[in-house]
Structure 1
Amino acid sequence: MRRWLRSGDIALMVLVLLPLAVALPRLGGFGDSPALWLTWVGRVFGILGLAMMLAAGAVSCRVPGFDRPFGGLTRLWQLHHWLGFGAFMLVMLHALALGMAAVPASLEAAVTTLFPPISHGAVWLGWLAWLALVVFLAPTFGFFGQPRYQRWKRLHLVSAAALLLGFWHALLLAGETWPWWLLGIAGLGAVAWRKGVAPNRRHVYRIEEVVPLACGVVELVLRPEGGGIRFEAGQFVYLSPLDESLSAGRGEEHPYTLASAPSDTCLRIGIKDLGDASHALQTVTPDTRVLVEGPYGEFFGRRLPERDMLWLGGGIGITPFVSGARDVAIRASVKGNIHLFYLANGPDRAYYQAELVEIAGRVEGFTYTSHYYRDQGPLTEVFLRQHCPDYAQREIYICGPLGMNAHLQRLLADHGVPDSRIHSEVFDFL
């Protein structure tokens, strides 16, 4: 993933800083006493924290295409997570600074500042917003273990309550309310879209075929009922199966990368048995319906067109590269050169290998190399350089298990490949 700012990042920063820019003239200076200084800092932290909370809600709308100015949905979701965590920390510091500012007067004054009579509703709305954030964020801490996917998604309703309460808190206390209305409409509007409008805009597909690829791996072939989606190689969708006989996952949405070429009339999705929902899909009933939402991401959009490409795929993470290879096969041409390394445990776990070898054999500029962990161990720089001598000068794309992804990024960084030329995608509570 590229490290520099994108157009979406800049727009987000403007949105977050707007309430503070409007409020600063009213906040005055630091003051000469610690109490005045702490009061100023507490108010600044409160404004920034609440603005970040509402901005985190705004970027959760998940409208197809909205993620692209941010570098794809995985990166946008990382921004969402950091905004939420940063908001929580700033709100805590906001309360701490205001309480400490009142300590020189008396301890009773400090307690009253933080916990005034119930008639001071604006302050208590702030505490309720903070409490909702605690309930929402608690499962993210390692002490509680990894939360279940669907439980995590349902907890987002608690975050919506935090947004509403925090927004109300700001309206009652702000001198100028229009920046908060702007942020409130963006944040709460995104929640309304996600929970109310978006589910009704999913595309209906029917499962035409379930193709076994290996033990615990299938490819679903989906035919649209009505208009289907338009997508680019390397993008992904959310899939919600409606098969009533499924043992798990019926009606649940999960992200899967598309393995079909963009010109294919059907969608093809490779699914590995990695959990309850993906296990159930191994035996999903053909001719049943699924709902598809998307597409999202811009995996192959992040490159300089004059550079050759190196693709490193492992496990079911090979699917974006299968999509790219199938696109190349249909066009029968490649812009520059593409070298695909399939990092599999062994030949029996190289799911699409026969097709990829066939494409490499007839399309000039597309090269395929397999690497088997059971026989050769982790991929080494020697193996990489032996088969692709100019790898360090290429745009490099990585998709696969977390451990493989981390190993490859360290290997490439240790041998001088800049971060700006390494692109990876990891689904983590998308």
Structure 2
Amino acid sequence: MAASPQTQPLPAPGRARRRQLHLRGRRHQQWRARVGDLLELLAASLLVATVSVFLRDGGGQHLVTGSWGSRLVAVGQLTGLVAVDLLLVQMLLAARVPWVDRVYGSDRALKAHRVLGRVTVPLVLVHAESLVLGYAARDGMPWWSGWLREPFAMLSGVPDMLTATIALALLVLIAVTSVRAAMRRVGYERWHLVHLGAYAAVTLAIPHQLSVGSDITRSGLVRAAWLGLYVLVAASIAWWRFALPVVRSVRHRLYVERVVQETPDTWSVTVRGRDLGALQARAGQFFQWRFLTRGLWAAAHPWSLSAQPDGRTLRLTVRELGDHSSRLAGLRPGTRVLVEGPYGAFTTHRRTRRRVLLLAAGIGVTPIRALAEELARDPATAPGDVTVVYRADQASQLALRQELDEVSRHGGHRLHLLTGPPVRGSWLPEHVGRGGDDASALAELVPHLREHDVYLCGPPVWMDLVHTSLRRARVPRAHIHDERFSW
């Protein structure tokens, strides 16, 4: 097992320190709520403004009093404008802008990104087909043949239609490969490569959107506003997703220091660098890691820190779940590393209670291990304030078990290792769950359960079951914290 820093027991914090902790957590939650509301209001205002300008400039008249063909064209124009608006918001959510990440957390920002994607692509398809049928009606074609003949006429008659058609095809391809079953089949690396096509799709669509006579170019002010939005999104992606990770990696000179096998299928990789404190990484966060060696350099993967950052090294712990993760076992010391991050809001900034419960299952133990170490060192934590519950099917799968035991023992905290085969409808092993009453079993395992902040990380189905137990045990939702790192 890899050695872990020794955590010395700390004296019980005073009432003033506990009050400071509570106020800090409440202020952080209030700040997130207010900024989140502001961001959502801005996004909604942008959408309302887009629709309002279209209706003001004659679109409303076409929709209400126009001919059948004119109405279809108006529907196509409006859905196209709304789709572009939502697509740009999607890209901004995926740009890893720090203040968006701090407000929502990476998982919630990417979830919103996926939800918007399920709306955007159908809107783009409605946009394309409505225009085809509308122009066909204007040209006097019957609907049953116009939908097939009109696209060829549009390719020669509508400005930049070829690039717009390619953009549409790319968006459909991205949507198809983003279906959960397809994602599992193609694998993370291929899915990520296809998903990068979104940047190409937006770029290819811009000439069509800004062509003479389009809805965007009818007003100089509207054109300037759209161009400003394009520039904002492009600059955010260029800086936060590409330029800054390279600048940081070069500045901090990251390289692999050592690789340690934790269990038969789990390895810890320690990365050393210069002045890593400037990254301001915290326990519970993750990076996108790219190792510059054969078989690993092409794709970056999101892996959590499994130890509290110390300003000199960063550590990740990975279970063998595919070809990419299994190759980490063969990393050689000295291999250069590029990182994006740190990302995520799964940190002790959310803490509002003195007592903390950390729940982990499987490889979800990695951020929990780092949080346990940070909490044990926090002056606001008294001996016995932290309880760790670690679930696995069998003892051999308990990665980082020894380190958790050391952190708990030196800090005077509690560690519960729960092993046993999965039980249908329960997240606990059979000998603990007592017939599936997980809420009562957890309350018995963790005294004063409702007085804890709860952090949990593990497989999605397991986390859903834990959430159900916590709600039944009447733990306030505001005191339950998680982030889901699925792609």
TM-score range, shorter chain: 0.7 to 0.9
The corresponding residue for 2:396 is 348
Q: Does 1:178 align with 2:216?
A: no
Distance 1:421 1:42 in 2: 46
Residue 169 of structure 1: which of 208, 221, 224 is its match?
208
Q: Does 1:28 align with 2:60?
A: yes
Query: Shift in Å at residue 108 of structure 1?
Result: 3.9
Distance 2:161 2:479 in 1: 48
The corresponding residue for 1:221 is 270
The corresponding residue for 2:334 is 287
Query: Shift in Å at residue 49 of structure 1?
Result: 0.6
Task: Structure 1: give runs of 5+ residues left out of the alignment.
Answer: none
Q: Does 1:321 align with 2:398?
A: no
Query: Shift in Å at residue 199 of structure 1?
Result: 4.9
Distance 1:143 1:68 in 2: 27
Q: 1:165 to 1:372 in 2, by over 3 A?
A: same
SS state at 1:222 partner: strand
Tell me if structure 1 keeps the 8 A contact 2:262–2:268: yes
Query: Shift in Å at residue 13 of structure 1?
Result: 3.4
The corresponding residue for 2:455 is 397
Task: After superposition, give the CA deviation of every residue in 1:324-345 in whole Å (9 maximum; x if it has no partner).
Answer: 1222333465179332211122
Q: Does 1:386 align with 2:425?
A: no
Tell me if structure 1 keeps the 8 A contact 2:375–2:381: yes
Distance 1:6 1:310 in 2: 29
Percent sequence identity over aligned pairs = 25
Distance 1:70 1:126 in 2: 34
The range that moved more, 340-349 or 46-55, is 340-349
Distance 2:390 2:373 in 1: 15
Q: Does 1:148 align with 2:181?
A: no
Tell me if structure 1 keeps the 8 A contact 2:352–2:453: no
Query: Shift in Å at residue 124 of structure 1?
Result: 4.8
The corresponding residue for 2:470 is 412
Residue 233 of structure 1: which of 279, 283, 287 is its match?
283
The corresponding residue for 2:44 is 13
Distance 1:295 1:303 in 2: 17
Output the amino acid matched with 1:299: F
Tell me if structure 2 keeps the 8 A contact 1:34–1:101: no
The corresponding residue for 2:159 is 121
Task: After superposition, give the CA deviation of every residue in 1:285-328 in whole Å (9 maximum; x if it has no partner).
Answer: 22333223210001025635246432211111111121112223
Q: 1:232 to 1:16 in 2, by over 3 A?
A: farther
Distance 2:183 2:280 in 1: 38
Question: RMSD of the alignment, in Å?
Answer: 3.2
The range that moved more, 122-131 or 307-316, is 122-131
Tell me if structure 1 keeps the 8 A contact 2:171–2:198: yes
The corresponding residue for 1:136 is 174
Q: Does 1:189 align with 2:238?
A: no
Output the amino acid matched with 2:60: G
SS state at 1:383 partner: helix
SS state at 1:274 partner: coil
Distance 2:408 2:292 in 1: 37
Distance 2:311 2:119 in 1: 43
Q: 1:143 to 1:300 in 2, by over 3 A?
A: closer
Task: After superposition, give the CA deviation of every residue in 1:170-226 in whole Å (9 maximum; x if it has no partner).
Answer: 222122312221222233334444675245224232222322221121222222145
Q: 1:142 to 1:354 in 2, by over 3 A?
A: closer
Distance 2:351 2:275 in 1: 36
The corresponding residue for 1:210 is 259
The corresponding residue for 2:10 is none
Aligned length: 423
Tell me if structure 2 keeps the 8 A contact 1:53–1:84: yes
Tell me if structure 2 keeps the 8 A contact 1:259–1:321: yes
Q: 1:76 to 1:387 in 2, by over 3 A?
A: same
Distance 1:304 1:62 in 2: 23
SS state at 2:284 partner: coil
Residue 104 of structure 2: which of 43, 59, 71 is its match?
71
State the structure with more CA Rg: 2
Q: Give TM-score, length-normalised by structure 1.
A: 0.85
Distance 1:288 1:98 in 2: 53
Q: 1:232 to 1:195 in 2, by over 3 A?
A: closer
Task: Structure 2: give runs of 5+ residues left out of the alignment.
Answer: 1-28, 423-428
Tell me if structure 1 keeps the 8 A contact 2:286–2:344: yes
SS state at 1:299 partner: coil
Q: 1:421 to 1:94 in 2, by over 3 A?
A: farther
Q: 1:94 to 1:322 in 2, by over 3 A?
A: same
Distance 1:137 1:150 in 2: 16
Distance 1:399 1:33 in 2: 56
Tell me if structure 2 keeps the 8 A contact 1:99–1:114: yes
Query: Shift in Å at residue 382 of structure 1?
Result: 2.8
SS state at 1:178 partner: helix
Output the amino acid matched with 1:236: F
Q: 1:285 to 1:56 in 2, by over 3 A?
A: same
